[in-house]
Amino acid sequence: MKMEFKKGSFIFKANDNVENMFYIYDGCLRTFHRDSSGKEHTIQFGIKDWWITDFTAYTSTSKAIMNLEVIEDATLYALSSTDKEYVYNEVPQIETFMRKKLESAFAAFQKRMVVSLSQSAKERYLDFLDTHNNIEKKLKNYHIASYIGITNESLSRIRKELYNS
């Protein structure tokens, strides 16, 4: 099902039921978690030709642990679990395609975890630029800072250091 969303809107919020995963036809989105102190932790950005959702909630009966926010006006295609299973059964090539996409996404998440745990803030920022250079201009500074696990002030210092060298 095709859906249109405006910048600043939420597709779902933490504690909602998540019935769909979304193919991004156009636009930019992010998933984030808000901790008990209110601090946001960006988990994923999504751009054209990517899939995005709260996979924990989508693949189980649990409530969302993340929020899905539209950063740039977006056109999405929603795929429910029921429809996904139907398509997988009717067109086995789609299941293979999706498995490969999810394996690639899982590998990217593993890399992100290793980077987050083992690199300095500057190295994490440089890795972010290397991985997401095509969307950096669409993002607010606090989105980038929360994605790499630093404050806005630290991000400003790192940028100043990099661009003044």
- Residue-by-residue pLDDT tens, the chain, 165 positions: 999 999 999 999 999 999 999 999 999 999 999 999 999 999 999 999 999 999 999 999 899 999 999 999 999 999 998 999 999 999 989 999 888 988 988 898 899 899 889 999 999 999 999 988 888 888 999 999 999 999 999 999 999 999 887
CA atoms within 13 A on the CB side of 147: 24
Residues ≥6 apart with Cβ < 8 Å to 153: none
Question: Is 116 strand, coil or helix?
Answer: helix
Nearest Cα to Cα of residue 68 among 115, 129, 17 = 17
Q: What does pTM read for this prediction?
A: 0.88
Q: Nearest Cα to 113, choosing from 129, 124, 125?
A: 124
What architecture is domain 2-90? Sandwich (2.60)
